[in-house]
Chains A and B, each alone.
Chain A
């Protein structure tokens, strides 16, 4: 019968939690009891199985070949032949002692020069650390510049078009569109456009010569002052050439049917 204290020691032993001395003492107990050996074997096996509870991760595929290559290299190293026993003359120990003394002198001198090298390397390391800090600062500056250039590049992608009125009834109507070619999105700002009856909508079109007809970019209405700020995105990817607004029936049409109200390029 295994008592509670021994069970506790066995559990700690199975998990490798006993100190060296505790483990030695416990192993003495183990040698004396077959029952305890069986019990510990079960706990040890349970602990090993804990390993399989780790979330599964596969090693990278190249690792196996790397290992096989390393093994191949190891196999090429031919073990040294066992040295034959030599006849040792009486002066041999003295010669060995002399060699040892010479080696000690060499090691002492090497040690000194190694220390000097170490000090030099430490200085170089400090210098490199300083340079690293300075380089980090420069990197930050460059990153800011890159961000700025990107932002400028982004601006270069924008296209601005003025639209003027084609209607005698709304001569003051004017609109500006800003088009982002990369995002394929735009904004149209309109002023002084005539208000619409309830069954009508203004419809925006982007004209791209690669399409047989203008590409629908959505419908909008204006407020009582004839103004609107309208964000649009054409139904197809376009290369912006011209932009136009037509007057259409409520909800819009697939191809322009009504009068052209505004046009810009």
Chain B
């Protein structure tokens, strides 16, 4: 049917993920040897998605530029100490990026504004037309993730987003949403389980 999204089968998506992770590990190995071409490829593969995370956290493209620069310099410096046991390189990149962005956010005065925005945000993640990586599989994957996140009940989604993109602690989320801590924890648990089920093909 023309225009219909092609959802990859579980096996093919898993294979795409595995191949992608394999390539990333190779790239990291080459970067650790001082290979600038490998670094350049790594940048091309991930700068879009990592920049998007930082912009989402900081809401400031100029500052996001600095953070992205720090992230990639760290990838260059630390590629040699990356360990497979810590997860696939993509997870490592996301963790690095998120931590740096959240550190920057905490040290700035923008936190309150972001909180307000996140609270008001009820119809987020609608920008499905844009790309974060050039690979069509990843675009497709991104659309599916957005759809999975959108399918979460808003209370669960809010709590998870405040943690992931806002870098808030459990207590801060509880305060921000005006809900008891136990409720917040339960929402996060239910949301994460639903997200895991919805993204089963990608895990």
Contact = CB atoms under 8 A, between A and B. Distances in A.
Interface in B121-177: 124-127, 130-132, 138, 141-142, 145-146, 149, 160-161, 163-165, 169-170
A67 B65 CA distance: 11
B34 A75 contact: yes
Interface residues of A, number: 39
Contacts of A46: 192, 195-196, 199, 203
A66 B49 contact: no
Contacts of A12: 170, 185, 188-189
A107 to B, nearest CB: 27
Contact of A48 (B94, B124, B138): B94
B23 interface: no
A42 B203 contact: yes
Contacts of B72: 67
A70 B73 contact: yes
Given A50-B195, A59-B68, A71 B39 contact: yes
Interface in A6-30: 7-8, 11-12, 14-17
Contact of B98 (A17, A51, A58, A74): A51
A43 B195 CA distance: 8
B76 interface: yes
Contact of B188 (A17, A50, A58, A63): A17
A173 to B, nearest CB: 62
Contacts of B202: 45, 49
Interface of A: 4, 7-8, 11-12, 14-17, 41-60, 63-64, 66-68, 70-72, 74-75
The 4 closest A-B pairs by CB, nearest first: A56-B130, A54-B56, A55-B127, A11-B192
